[in-house]
């Protein structure tokens, strides 16, 4: 038997023992038998996510929760698959898949890098390059965007004569890793944002205002990119002088077809409709309609309309074509997270009060500013060694558990966690994109990439703790 198979079986054994065996361990002080069963399911799922996969451990965790006796299987499966939240999430994931199918990446790159205002301004070129990556990731799949942008960057290096192992290389590469990843949290129809929102709603039982989330998150992401570029210029003193003569040439395959125009228009209208219930005043006919539909019904209505509309005889949203882009693993992460988070926060399990007491004792001696910085810093560090979706869902769940023990708005802290858990920028294990970037040994050393990424991450954590919380107080 190969070493890989032995490792898999050993990790599988740990998952099974946690999910199905922890309930037989005598309860720790302050807990009961049901507490141990639910904690076993939760820790088993987390361990499986980190060590094995995020798909089948989620499904197995749902099976284990059914066998725990926390609630009848019919009620449990109804809460997992039939809630208003999960219907909304299902529709948002279909919308995200539709966005990826539109293939708008090269158009965005050409538009931003060919602006006359960038000529002779190296740091504005860097900002527009990273902003293009961010916007492309909003409308596509992050890894696919990185592959395209890495080739564009290599072309820039060849044209401008940027020297390998110079400070400009890690500035671009760390920036790519950072700006492309946060594209997946900037709006409420992106995968990692959906996970964070789902975790918040599952624990608190309150609906996240999608309009307020977008107003907070999108500008905060852009501001973070701007702060990173300013740090490169004024703190790290990166030499980008070779870019003064750079002129961007438009991509050959970046034609704006009628289908792409219609797809982009449909995306903007769909997002506006999803944000509308949180903006319009209450008490009118439109508000009453949205109240009747709920976000789940509204999301389904948008998907139905996109499927009805046809371009050149083909449906605008074709289920067969979109299916290959649908993130089923993300869906099943949320399917198990919603009932497990609900179980963990229930009075029957009793974990919520225990965690709140523990958090109060640990954080009582810290100043408010240090508490906020710790909330930002911990996910940012852990996400370098674990999947950012896992870190997001776990930390948002914890923040919402101990919300009453902290003198801060849990919505703001949850949004800051979602942001910081995606600062995966200074270690190759953080995500597949980092692994690709660290592998570019002909351009950058491991030490250069890791040290530049670490220092940038620390500065961004400080920026998020100060500017992020301040902006959150204005929005929420």
Structure tokens at 154: 């290599």
Q: What are phi and psi of 207, to 5 degrees?
A: -80, 135
Our CA angle for 184, 383, 445, nearest 5°, is 95
Range 233-237, long-range pairs (CB < 8 A, 24+ positions)? 233/123, 235/459, 236/167, 236/171, 236/452, 236/455, 237/167
> Residue 311 is inside which H or E element, if any?
strand 310-311
pLDDT at 356: 59
Q: How far apart are CA 336 and CA 332, in angstroms?
A: 6
pLDDT at 277: 76
Q: How far apart are CA 410 and CA 421, in angstroms?
A: 16
CA-nearest of 410, 419, 393 to 356 is: 410
Supply the DSSP symbol for 251.
P
Range 239-242, long-range pairs (CB < 8 A, 24+ positions)? 239/166, 239/167, 239/168, 240/122, 240/123, 240/125, 240/126, 240/168, 240/171, 241/122, 242/122, 242/160, 242/161, 242/162, 242/163, 242/168
Supply the DSSP symbol for 121.
-
CB 131 within 8 Å of CB 218: no
pLDDT at 253: 53
Q: How far lies 325's CA from each of 104, 273, 328, in Å?
A: 15, 23, 9
Q: How far apart are the first and last CA of the chain?
A: 55
Q: How far apart are CA 286 and CA 56, in angstroms?
A: 41
Tens of pLDDT along the chain (476 residues)? 677 788 888 989 999 999 998 888 888 777 788 888 888 888 888 788 778 887 888 889 889 988 888 888 888 888 888 777 778 778 777 777 776 666 666 667 667 767 777 778 889 989 999 998 898 888 777 776 787 788 788 878 888 888 889 999 999 999 998 899 998 888 887 777 887 888 888 778 788 888 889 999 999 999 999 999 999 999 999 999 888 877 766 665 556 677 777 777 877 787 777 777 767 777 777 778 877 887 778 888 888 888 888 887 778 888 887 777 777 877 887 788 778 777 776 767 766 666 656 656 666 667 778 888 888 998 898 888 777 777 887 788 888 877 666 778 889 999 999 999 999 888 876 777 787 888 888 888 988 999 999 999 999 999 999 999 999 999 98
Look up tokens 């929420």; give the residue: 476
Domain residue ranges in the chain: 1-79, 90-323
Q: What are phi and psi of 316, to 5 degrees?
A: -60, -45
């Amino acid at each position: 038997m190969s070493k890989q198979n032995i490792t898999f079986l050993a990790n599988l054994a740990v998952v099974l023992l946690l999910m199905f065996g922890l309930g037989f361990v005598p309860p720790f002080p302050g807990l009961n038998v049901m507490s141990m069963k639910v904690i076993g399911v939760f820790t088993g799922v987390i361990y499986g996510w980190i060590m094995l996969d995020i798909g089948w451990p989620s499904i197995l965790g749902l099976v284990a929760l059914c066998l725990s006796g926390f609630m009848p299987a019919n009620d449990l499966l109804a809460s997992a698959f039939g809630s208003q939240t999960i219907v909304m999430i299902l529709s948002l994931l279909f919308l995200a898949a539709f966005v990826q199918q539109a293939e708008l990446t090269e158009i965005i790159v050409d538009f931003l890098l060919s602006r006359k205002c960038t000529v002779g301004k190296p740091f504005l070129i860097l900002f527009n390059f990273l902003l293009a990556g961010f916007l492309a990731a909003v409308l596509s799949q992050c890894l696919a965007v990185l592959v395209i942008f890495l080739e564009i960057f290599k072309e820039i290096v060849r044209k401008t004569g940027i020297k390998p192992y110079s400070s400009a290389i890690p500035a671009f590469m760390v920036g790519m890793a950072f700006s492309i990843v946060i594209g997946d949290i900037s709006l409420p129809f992106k995968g990692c944002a959906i996970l964070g929102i789902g975790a918040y709603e599952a624990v608190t039982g309150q609906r996240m205002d999608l309009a307020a989330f977008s107003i907070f998150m999108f500008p905060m992401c852009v501001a973070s990119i701007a702060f990173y570029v300013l740090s490169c210029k004024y703190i790290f003193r990166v030499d980008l002088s070779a870019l003064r003569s750079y002129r961007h040439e438009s991509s050959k395959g970046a034609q704006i077809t009628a289908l792409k125009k219609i797809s982009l228009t449909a995306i903007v209208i769909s997002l506006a409709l999803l944000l509308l219930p949180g903006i319009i005043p209450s008490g009118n006919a439109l508000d009453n309609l949205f109240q009747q539909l709920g976000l789940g019904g509204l999301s389904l209505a948008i998907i139905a309309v996109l499927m009805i509309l046809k371009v050149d005889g083909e449906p605008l949203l074709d289920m067969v074509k979109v299916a290959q882009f649908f993130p089923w693993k993300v869906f099943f992460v949320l399917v198990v997270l919603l009932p497990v988070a609900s179980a963990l926060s229930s009075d029957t399990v009793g974990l919520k009060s225990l965690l709140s007491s523990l958090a109060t004792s640990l954080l009582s001696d810290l100043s408010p500013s240090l508490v906020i910085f710790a909330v930002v810093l911990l996910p940012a560090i852990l996400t370098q060694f674990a999947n950012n979706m896992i870190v997001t869902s776990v930390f948002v769940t914890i923040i919402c558990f101990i919300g009453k023990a902290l003198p801060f708005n849990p919505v703001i802290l949850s949004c800051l966690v979602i942001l910081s858990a995606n600062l995966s920028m200074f270690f190759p294990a953080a995500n597949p994109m980092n692994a690709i970037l660290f592998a570019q040994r002909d351009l950058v050393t491991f030490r250069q990439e890791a040290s530049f990424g670490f220092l940038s991450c620390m500065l961004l954590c400080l920026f998020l703790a100060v500017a992020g919380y301040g902006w959150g107080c204005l929005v929420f």
